[in-house]
């Protein structure tokens, strides 16, 4: 096949496949590719060209795949074409957007990499979709984001079970999505959730959010009411057990690992001290929680709950 025929064929393909709303930038890419192929083919025998022609397909995929009309199906992951250097850039940009609390921009940025089989990208996608769900005021939209996030978390854990964040976000989203199925469904996952949080801590002992999450697990189990305890006894031969003291240890460890990392950690420290009757300590931590800037939905919930608990403590201490 002559170089002219190859170029004409490629031009036809790009006309059919491209999204020319991007105009000049996309066209320059195609022209660069065609120029390269033309120069390559000059003076090359057809036999050699036939042996190397399989290289044309992946090269075209890179260029044609940049069109905006390409649709992705999350249920069908494909092999990643992102190089390691590119993954580092994606992680750097994603973490910067996360620190700036730009959830919508972060989610849109990472979605274009949703089919790449890199665990570091997938767990970040899970985190981003989870944040979008947290910000949504529509119940169905919130649920859709959480379900989507869990798919990314499952994929990340399958791709690399040696990354702390993969276990952490799998556990968070396993529990989050189980909430839509009721208390019984959530209870059935109780040991699995804790196992993955503990694995996350084993892989990264200074992961403050995982430490906080195990503390929350301990607090929730210690705080079960009579009916809930009976249900756990019916479901498990050895039902989950914990104490407020154990929960307190994890909340304190989380704070030591990353001071003031999470407003809800101060709320849980305050609540735990309140359950233990340590009113002075409870007031101290709850006051700290009220002083956090309201940057996320969790901050808003923490501020509201801390304010309510401080009022409750005020009434209790006044009665003593």
Name which of 303, 285, 283 is nearest 293 in CA terms.
Answer: 303
The angle that helices 208-222 and 244-257 make with each other, rounded to 10 degrees, is 170
Which residues have CB under 8 Å from 251's CB, separation 6+? 211, 212, 215, 265, 268, 269, 272
pLDDT-derived band at 258 (thresholds 50, 70, 90) equals very high
CA-CA distance, 270 to 286, in Å (whole number)? 5
- Walk me through the domains of the chain, giving residue ranges and CATH numbers: 3-64 (no CATH), 84-204 (1.25.40.10)
Q: What is the pLDDT of residues 133-166, one digit of tens each?
A: 999 999 999 999 999 999 999 999 999 999 999 9
Q: What is the pLDDT of residues 259-298, one digit of tens each?
A: 999 999 999 999 999 999 999 999 999 999 999 999 999 9
| Summary mean pLDDT of the chain | 81
């Amino acid at each position: 096949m002559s170089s002219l025929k190859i170029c004409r064929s490629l031009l036809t393909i790009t006309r059919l496949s491209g999204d020319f709303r991007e105009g000049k930038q996309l066209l320059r890419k195609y022209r660069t590719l065609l120029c390269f192929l033309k120069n390559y083919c000059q003076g090359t025998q057809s036999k050699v060209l036939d042996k190397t022609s399989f290289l044309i397909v992946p090269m075209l995929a890179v260029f044609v795949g940049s069109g905006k009309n390409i649709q992705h199906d999350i249920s069908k992951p494909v092999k990643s074409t992102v190089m390691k250097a590119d993954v580092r850039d994606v992680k750097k940009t994603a973490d910067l957007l996360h620190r700036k609390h730009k959830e919508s921009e972060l989610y849109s940025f990472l979605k274009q990499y949703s089919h790449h089989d890199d665990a570091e990208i997938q767990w970040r996608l899970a985190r981003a979709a989870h944040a979008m769900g947290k910000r949504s005021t529509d119940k169905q939209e919130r649920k859709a984001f959480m379900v989507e996030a869990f798919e990314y978390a499952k994929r990340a854990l399958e791709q690399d079970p040696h990354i702390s964040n993969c276990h952490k976000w799998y556990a968070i989203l396993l529990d989050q999505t189980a909430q839509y199925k009721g208390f019984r469904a959530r209870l059935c996952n109780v040991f699995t959730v804790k196992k993955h949080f503990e694995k996350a801590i084993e892989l990264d002992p200074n992961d403050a959010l995982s430490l906080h999450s195990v503390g929350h697990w301990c607090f929730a189990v210690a705080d079960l009411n009579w009916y809930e305890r009976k249900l756990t006894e019916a479901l498990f031969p050895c039902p989950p057990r914990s104490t407020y003291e154990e929960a307190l240890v994890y909340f304190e460890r989380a704070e030591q690992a990353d001071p003031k990392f999470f407003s809800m950690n101060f709320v849980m420290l305050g609540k735990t001290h309140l359950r233990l009757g340590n009113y002075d300590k409870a007031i101290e931590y709850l006051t700290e929680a009220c002083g956090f800037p309201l940057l996320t939905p969790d901050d808003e919930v923490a501020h509201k709950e801390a304010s309510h608990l401080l009022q409750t403590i005020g009434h209790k201490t006044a009665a003593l």
